[in-house]
Amino acid sequence: MDPDPDAEVIALSPTSLLATNRFVCEICNKGFQRDQNLQLHRRGHNLPWKLKQRNGNENRKRAYVCPEPTCVHHHPSRALGDLTGIKKHYCRKHGEKKWKCEKCDKIYAVRSDWKAHSKTCGTREYKCDCGTLFARKDSFITHRAFCDALAEESARLSAAANSTAGRHHQPSFHFVNPQNSLPPPPSPPPQPPSF
């Protein structure tokens, strides 16, 4: 989806995109990514606080480009439409993966992704009739569609081969001379019935 052509295109540095908790409460040292959130937090400590008033210029749409030159989202025509989106994109695709699941060893660059995974890791298992296990339902459904189609095709071919072999099958015996290392000759392929 192309960004709004009237949107202001903003290019943030990697340092800005990776920065967390730039605004810190002087009472409890809790950090916030936005000053507005810190101001709302300060109310809980009965400290003076002030929210910025929005003016007409702040309502202008913005689009954010990725600072990585080789990234598809580096070009303004593929810019992302919100600050959270570009931050998560940059971390996921170009950032260091710092959070590791203790159960399955998957690693994540975005803490919220790790937390969401950790809540369900090992609790949901989807098992296909073929024995393959899946942790994600969508992967299981995709696999199952192919697995079921393969099983149906195999059953159809087997049934066709059995019905053809049953009509034209005559027992054949192949005697192998133990001194001869050649395998027995192959059986001729079954001929389709003629009507």
**pLDDT above 70 for 188:** no
Residue 147 neighbours by CB under 8 Å, 6+ apart: 128, 129, 130, 132
The per-residue b/e assignment along 165-193, b for 16 or more CB within 10 angstroms, e otherwise, is eeeeeeeeeeeeeeeeeeeeeeeeeeeee
With cut-offs at 50, 70 and 90, classify the pLDDT of residue 180.
Answer: very low
Region for 30 from its dihedrals, namely left if φ exceeds 0, alpha if ψ lies in -120 to 50, beta otherwise = beta
pTM of the model: 0.50
> How many domains does the chain contain in total?
2
Report which listed range, 52-61, 82-91, 122-131, 146-155, is most confident. 82-91
What range defines the domain where residue 75 resides?
9-43+60-94
Burial class (CB in 10 A: 0-12, 13-18, 19+), 86: buried
CA 122 to chain centre: 17
The Cα–Cα gap between 137 and 145 comes to 12
- The one-letter code for the residue type at 26 is E
Asked whether residue 22 is domain-assigned, the answer is yes
- The pLDDT of residue 54 is 59
Asked whether residue 16 is domain-assigned, the answer is yes
Length of the chain: 195
Q: Are residues 22 and 64 in the same domain?
A: yes
**pLDDT above 90 for 157:** no
Q: Are residues 64 and 137 in the same domain?
A: no
**pLDDT above 70 for 56:** no
Q: Are residues 75 and 136 in the same domain?
A: no
Asked whether residue 108 is domain-assigned, the answer is no
